[in-house]
Amino acid sequence: MGPLYKFGWFDFAYSLQIAGLIGFFFGFVLERAGFGDARKLTAIFYLRDFAVLKVMFTAIVVCMIGLLYFSVFGWIDLSRVYILPTYIWPQTVGGLVMGVGFVMGGYCPTTSVVATVSAKLDGLVFIGGMILGSFIFAELFPLLKGFYEAGSMGAVRLSDVLKINAGLIALFVCLMAVGAYWVVEKVEQRFGDRGTLPGGSRRIKGAAAALLIVLGLILAIVNPDRIAAKRATASPVEAVKKGEATEPIAPKAEKPASIHFKIVEDEGC
């Protein structure tokens, strides 16, 4: 069934419109969560408020579990989902540089846009710094190209590197998330302002943690990789029996918007 764009359900122009709509609602939710305020974001470095870690970790876990269960049910073909190639050394250095910038500026790239839209001058200054840094990097790229491509591992997943199935990875990440949430809440209670920290029922939190672990455990037992492999080997046979073409369905060819614009690489748009 999915990813829808890769199976030709809509064209490239429509995919950009959907991406813009999703981006709008993503920014709106970030602003409503307080992530357009540098003080809220940097509170994690003072051990006062770990909202950033909780929100981002929750997003990772929900996306991971959702994709794997969708794969098990046959609702999405994970082999067609674009994975950003791994370049271990430049990405490590880039992460460190971004972390330093986060501490100094109080924003990451996305939240700086949210802050700017919320009429915060520091967010606009941060965006100006990103634009200037991007320009300098582009000018120096011929000198940095060798390092930029260092440590190339291709499009790999943790299950490929560790040689274990994706279900076990999901279980480990769920356990890590539950442990991280428990630890950071203890730290918040000690160093944070309890009057401003969000509350919540311990019973509900415990039930949510148990549900998360159960969902991860089911994936570890079911093994989504094995199911996907069986489905991939069975599909060509079924297609031949039905007299259908076995070639994968590709998105319809798009007419270039202008003679100066050309898509040179599919990045899962």
In a domain? residue 175: yes
How confident is the model at residue 230, as a pLDDT?
A: 86
How confident is the model at residue 236, as a pLDDT?
A: 58
In a domain? residue 79: no
How deeply is 180 buried, as exposed, middle or buried, from its count of CB atoms within 10 A (0-12, 13-18, 19+)?
Answer: middle
Is 15 within 8 Å of 90 (Cβ atoms)? no
How confident is the model at residue 214, as a pLDDT?
A: 95
In a domain? residue 116: no
Q: How confident is the model at residue 63 (pLDDT cuts 50, 70, 90)?
A: very high
In a domain? residue 188: yes
pLDDT surpassing 50 at residue 258: no
How confident is the model at residue 13, as a pLDDT?
A: 87
How confident is the model at residue 199, as a pLDDT?
A: 74
In a domain? residue 250: no
61-65, 201-205, 259-263, range with the lowest pLDDT = 259-263
Is 65 within 8 Å of 149 (Cβ atoms)? no
- Report the half-sphere exposure of 51 (CA within 13 A, side-chain side): 20
Instruction: Please report, rounded to a whole number, the percentage of residues in the chain having pLDDT higher than 70.
Output: 86
Tokens coding 90? 């430049």
9-13, 55-59, 81-85, range with the lowest pLDDT = 9-13
Rounded (10°) angle between helices 166-191 and 51-73 = 160
- Report the half-sphere exposure of 95 (CA within 13 A, side-chain side): 7
Is 254 within 8 Å of 12 (Cβ atoms)? yes
How confident is the model at residue 269, as a pLDDT?
A: 43
- Sequence-separated (6 or more) residues with CB below 8 Å from residue 19: 269
Q: How confident is the model at residue 259 (pLDDT cuts 50, 70, 90)?
A: very low
Query: 191 lies in which domain range?
Result: 47-74+159-242
26-40, 206-220, 242-256, range with the lowest pLDDT = 242-256
Tokens coding 239? 């297609």
Task: Give the pTM.
Answer: 0.78
In a domain? residue 206: yes
How many CB atoms within 10 Å of residue 13?
Answer: 10
Q: What is the mean pLDDT of residues 198-205?
A: 82
Mean of per-residue pLDDT scores for the chain: 84
Summarize pLDDT for 213-241 with one digit per residue, the tens: 999 999 999 999 888 888 888 765 554 45
Strand 152-154 to 86-87 pairing: antiparallel
How confident is the model at residue 242, as a pLDDT?
A: 52
In a domain? residue 39: no
Q: How confident is the model at residue 249 (pLDDT cuts 50, 70, 90)?
A: low
SS3 87: strand
Q: Indicate the number of domains in the chain.
A: 1
pLDDT surpassing 90 at residue 261: no
Summarize pLDDT for 89-142 with one digit per residue, the tens: 999 999 999 889 888 888 988 899 999 998 999 999 999 999 999 999 999 999
Sign of CA dihedral 70, 74, 78, 82: negative
Rounded (10°) angle between helices 88-105 and 121-148 = 160
In a domain? residue 52: yes
Summarize pLDDT for 151-181 with one digit per residue, the tens: 899 888 888 888 899 999 999 999 999 999 9
134 to 42, 84, 127, 128: CA distances (angstroms):
24, 19, 10, 10
Instruction: Please report, rounded to a whole number, the percentage of residues in the chain having pLDDT higher than 90.
Output: 42
